[in-house]
Amino acid sequence: MEAVAETSEKAVFIANRKYTGHLFLSAGGFVVAILVNRLFAQVAEGVVIKDYQFGRLVFNMNDLYDLLLIALAVGYIISGFLSYADKNARAAYIKKAKFRFACGIALALWDVTGTKLQILPQPFFPGPAGIAEAFLEEPEYIFTNTLYSLRLYVAGFSLGVLFGIGTGVLIGWFPKISYWVTPVLNITGVIPAVAWMPFALTLLPTPFTAAVFLIIICAWFPIASLTAQGIMSTPKVMFEAAKTLGADTKYQIFRVAIPYAMPHIFTGIGTANAFAFTTLVMAEMMGQPGGLGYYINASKVWSAYYKVFASIVVMAVLFSLISKGISIIRNRVLRWQKGLVV
């Protein structure tokens, strides 16, 4: 028994040591990027490192870049500790450790080629520290444009989800409505939402409502199509059982068909999210008075490509957060699938 216990303790010790190695691997690439930024000399000429004051604090682009790298390194270490208790989360963390290390090394190489040596064509490919400078130079303006994009996205996408689910339920449940609406859905679905921009700007009162309309259109098609598929694929035996228990049409739709179609609905929402975000940026580039797409256009006019990259970074973060939020809601609503779907 003592030998078995000793063997078990040794196995646990080895497993913990390996996991600790993955913790350091996840943060190690970003630590290398910090060291490269601080120790590699600025060789290329023409790189002006300005100081920006925020209250009593003074930052330059390298300081902010280092803070971001430190935040990433510490964040991944904390995430690793939090993931240790759950077997699946721990396995997922270990699986991505090498990728995180590679990301840190890629940032270090980008810093050298884009800032320290400026081997990459300038000003089109600034280094990561140069991109960070945009957030020091005009943080309030970036924040204002980000809020505009979020307001536009929330208005368009939420209405697109409502109209998409409503249309899908009607198509999937009522054959007569499907006869008239499905051809319209199929025709409009293949047309890029931005193609409707001239008509939207002409018919709708403001550029904001025109952009909302475009986002609704692009989100409506995938959600409506997949919702209808989910409704129509509901087994008839479920409706027969509900009728036997005295269920009326309303009960069958909202308590049988829609719950069964939820996996299809969330698949449509996830697809529509990507379409909506792309349409959002393109709409802002084509006539909005604000937003991240507008900020990109304004920055290109002055060849401030580091600001363009800063906008792209904000977009990537926003899209990741929104996608994560949708995933959390989906996992909560479809928690009954856990253990059934691999």
Residue with token string 């403001």: 206
- % of the chain beyond a pLDDT of 70: 94
Whole-number Å distance between alpha carbons of 72 and 84:
18
Q: Is the pLDDT of residue 14 over 60?
A: no
Q: Is the pLDDT of residue 19 over 90?
A: no
pLDDT digits (tens, 9 = 90+) for 291-306: 999 999 999 888 899 9
The pLDDT value given to residue 13: 44
Q: Which residue has the higher pLDDT, 133 or 337?
A: 133
pLDDT digits (tens, 9 = 90+) for 167-219: 999 999 999 999 999 898 888 877 888 788 888 888 888 888 999 999 999 99
pLDDT digits (tens, 9 = 90+) for 212-249: 999 999 999 999 999 999 999 999 898 889 888 888 98
Average pLDDT value for the chain: 88
- The DSSP H or E segment spanning 6 is helix 2-39
User: Which domains, and CATH codes, for the chain?
Assistant: 2-136 (no CATH), 140-337 (1.10.3720.10)
The pLDDT value given to residue 338: 66
pLDDT digits (tens, 9 = 90+) for 273-330: 999 988 988 888 877 888 999 999 999 888 899 999 999 999 999 999 999 999 999 9
pLDDT-derived band at 151, boundaries 50, 70, 90: very high
Question: What residues contact residue 159 under an 8 Å CB cut-off, 6+ apart?
Answer: 212, 216
The pLDDT value given to residue 339: 54
Question: Quick one: 213 exposed, middle or buried, by C-beta within 10 A (0-12, 13-18, 19+)?
Answer: buried
Q: Which residue has the higher pLDDT, 189 or 103?
A: 103
